[in-house]
Amino acid sequence: MFKADSHIHTVFSADGKQMPEEAIKAAAAAGLSEITVTEHCECNNNAALPPDEEPWPDLDVVNYTKTFEKLRETSPVKINIGLELGQATQGAEYAAKMTAAYKWDFILGSLHNVVNELDFYYIDYKNKDIPALFSQYFDQLYETVLFGGFSSLTHLYYPVRYIYRAGLTVDLSAFDEQIYAVLELCAKKDIGLEINTSALNDKFADFVPGLKYAKMFRSLGGKIITVGSDAHRAERVGLGISEAYEMIKQAGFAEIATFEKQTPVFHKI
């Protein structure tokens, strides 16, 4: 069976914990046919980090791309070279510069913080108005999709896993109207929806998004589904890909997509 992991980070991302060669070896061991490396490009100039946190360096595009171009020559799995474009609307000029810096195969769009807030990873949720924060998040996620410049929208409700880690819960159905608007806009703009498996084996043990919102995307005319583990370590590469495929089929999709030169390639599942 064709299996692809379209969301992987290595040490070229500031929070990556695996060498490029380790990621490729792990992908082969997981039985993957194809991977897409999507190193972080945060467009908001470290504005979402706490003051005592080490600033993230800019992505070294030349070293990153040349390394994986070389590894392609001997890799047992196909390698696509991509980018995770974070907070593009918070640094539009930088986003444009980075998306034009290379002939990327694939660009993920993400939102790791709302304006004037820390990355969701760092927030103290026990002292936050969570519904208000989520409403801001989905409003700004809509603006991110409107801005565009990417192939697929990753981890639709990214903050949830950190809320669960804090021992709290959130009722996502309260935001269905906003989620509907985000997914409808993705479908209209032919932007894909990523099924992110990174929360498996976490306190929030589900795909992001899960079946309900995958079905909603389908009902709105969404055609492009990508799947990624969001692996930052070798042991997470390929996590939950087969299980995600089963969920995707339940949602009514017969194919998943990978990207070459930002053009979708569809694969039956």
Q: For residue 118, is pLDDT > 80?
A: yes
**In this structure, what are the phi and psi dihedrals at residue 266, rounded to the nearest 5 degrees?**
-95, 140
Q: Report the pLDDT value the prediction gives residue 189, as an integer from 0 to 100.
A: 98
Banded model confidence at residue 200, pLDDT cuts 50, 70, 90 = confident
Per the CB < 8 A criterion, the answer to whether 41 and 85 are in contact is yes
Q: Report the pLDDT value the prediction gives residue 30, as an integer from 0 to 100.
A: 98
Banded model confidence at residue 199, pLDDT cuts 50, 70, 90 = confident
Tokens of 184: 């409808």
For the segment 170-197, what is each residue's pLDDT rounded down to a tens digit?
Answer: 999 999 999 999 999 999 999 999 999 9
H-helix or E-strand spanning residue 99? helix 92-99
Banded model confidence at residue 202, pLDDT cuts 50, 70, 90 = confident
136 to each of 55, 77, 129, how far by Cα in Å? Answer: 25, 40, 11
Q: Report the pLDDT value the prediction gives residue 165, as an integer from 0 to 100.
A: 87
Question: Domain residues for 86?
Answer: 4-268
User: Of the candidates 219, 232, 223, which has an alpha carbon nearest to the alpha carbon of residue 179?
Assistant: 219
For the segment 51-60, what is each residue's pLDDT rounded down to a tens digit?
Answer: 999 999 999 9
Q: For residue 203, is pLDDT > 90?
A: no
Q: Report the pLDDT value the prediction gives residue 205, as an integer from 0 to 100.
A: 65
How many domains would you assign to the chain?
1
Q: For residue 101, is pLDDT > 80?
A: yes
Banded model confidence at residue 1, pLDDT cuts 50, 70, 90 = confident
Q: For residue 204, is pLDDT > 70?
A: no
Question: What percentage of residues in the chain have a pLDDT greater than 70?
Answer: 99
CATH number at residue 58: 3.20.20.140
3-state helix, strand, coil in the chain (%, to 5): 35, 20, 45
pTM of the model: 0.96
Q: For residue 66, is pLDDT > 70?
A: yes
